[in-house]
Amino acid sequence: MKCLTKLPDGYQERLTVDLQKDKKMAVTVNGIALGLLAVLAFIGNLMVPITTLFHGWNIVIMVLGTVVYMVLHELVHGLCMKFFGSQTVRYGFTGLYAYAGSKEYYGKRAYLIIALAPVVVWGIVLLVVCAWVDIQWFWGIYYIQIANLSGAAGDLYVTYVCSRLPKDILIQDSGVSMVVYHRTDMEHGVSEELNG
């Protein structure tokens, strides 16, 4: 399940996901994010009135916590890339999105883990913290959970796209765009190399 440093023979580009260049796709992903934000805010308000957001240090916790969370989210992507064999992971910020990227090619299963790991890891951590903190601090922490889940709309979108593709695809994620390659040469043994 280790990544590959070179695209094998018999593979060609199938699709590209680039939210900076594809405005329609960016609108779709941002729409998903806003929908998740609204639903999660509604659910949070049922648990603890949103008016408590303006008590104490909640605003400071929200702002600083969200910035720290964005860094930790991308760090988890990067650690997963390293786990699957990436030699170099690049981190950056585009003005709209923070990212972790690599030049390597990942198999489908590895890439789905890379894409979903931050939302799962931080989702569990933030759920525990929300349940543990005093009610007056709930919205400060819960807002970070909202950022975790709604901010992962891009990760959820590419997971959905990749999950519908054949198991032998290869994905290269530079951080700002993702290119999916598929096998055109059925005799090539790359699937065994990736899964073995």
What pLDDT is recorded for position 176?
86
Query: pLDDT at position 54, please?
Result: 87
**Maximum distance among all alpha carbons in the chain?**
64
Average pLDDT along the chain, 196 residues, taken 10 residues at a time: 92 93 93 96 96 89 95 97 96 87 97 97 97 94 96 93 95 94 69 46
Instruction: Give one DSSP letter per residue of 82-112, joined into a string.
Output: HHTT-S--EEEE-SS-EEEE-SSBEEHHHHH
Both tokens assigned to 71: 């860094």
